[in-house]
Amino acid sequence: MTAPSDKMLVRAVFAGDKAAYGKLYDRYAPLVRAVCYDEAGNLADAQDLAQDVFMRAYENLDNLRDPDRFGRWLIGIARLRCKEWRRRSSYRRVANVEVDDVEPITADPQDNGRLEQLRRTIATLPERERLALHTFYLQGRSAEDARRTMGLSRSGFYRALERARQQLAALLVQEREDSL
Partner 1 sequence: MKKLLDNDLKEMYGAFGRDHDRLKQTLMASLPDGAARRGQRRGLAHTRRFLQGTIMRNRITKLAASGVMVIAVIVCVNQFGGSIDGASVLYARVRESIENKPWIHATHTIRGEKALCGEEWFSFERKIAIGIEDTGKIQYSDFYSQKRYDYLPMPGTITISQIKEPPSFFEAKTPIELCKRVIELKQADGAEFSQNLIEQDGKTLEIWEVTRSEDTGSEKIKLFIDTEEYLPIVAEVSHADHTGKTTYQGTIEFEYPEIGPKDIYELGVPKDAKVVYFKDPGPEVINVAAEYDKRRRQLGDFRALTIYTSANNKSQFTILEYLPSKNKRRHTTSRVIADYDSKSLDELAEALISDSWLVLLDAKSRVFPTEYLPNNIVLLVPKMVDAFSDYYVGEWKILTSDDHELSNKVECQLKRHTRTGVYLQTWCFDPENDYWVSKYTLDVLESYEVQEDNAVVKQQYEVTAFDKTISGHLYPSQIVQQRASTNQVVQRRYYIYLEEAIHAQDVDRAFIERALKTLLQPK
**Out of 108, 127, 153, 154, the residue judged to bind partner 1 by CB under 8 A:** 108
Residue 29 CB, shortest distance to partner 1, in Å, is 6
Residues numbered 149-178 forming contacts with partner 1, rule: CB under 8 A: 165, 168-169, 172
62 counts as binding partner 1 under rule CB under 8 A: yes
* Residue at 163: amino acid letter: R
Residue whose CB is less far from partner 1, 90 or 106? 106
d(CA 69, CA 151): 8
119 counts as binding partner 1 under rule CB under 8 A: yes
Residue whose CB is less far from partner 1, 34 or 150? 34
Sign of the CA dihedral running 21, 27, 152, 123:
positive
d(CA 20, CA 5): 11
Which element (helix H / strand E) includes 177? Answer: helix 154-179
Using alpha carbons only, what angle is made at residue 75 by residues 50 and 107, rounded to the nearest 5 degrees?
Answer: 45
* Residue at 125: amino acid letter: L
What's the DSSP call for residue 109?
T
Strand ranges inside the chain, DSSP E? none
14 counts as binding partner 1 under rule CB under 8 A: yes
Give the binding site for partner 1 (CB under 8 A). 13-16, 18, 21-22, 25-26, 29-31, 33-34, 37, 43, 46-47, 50-51, 54-55, 58-63, 65-66, 108, 110-111, 114-115, 118-119, 122, 133-134, 137-138, 165, 168-169, 172
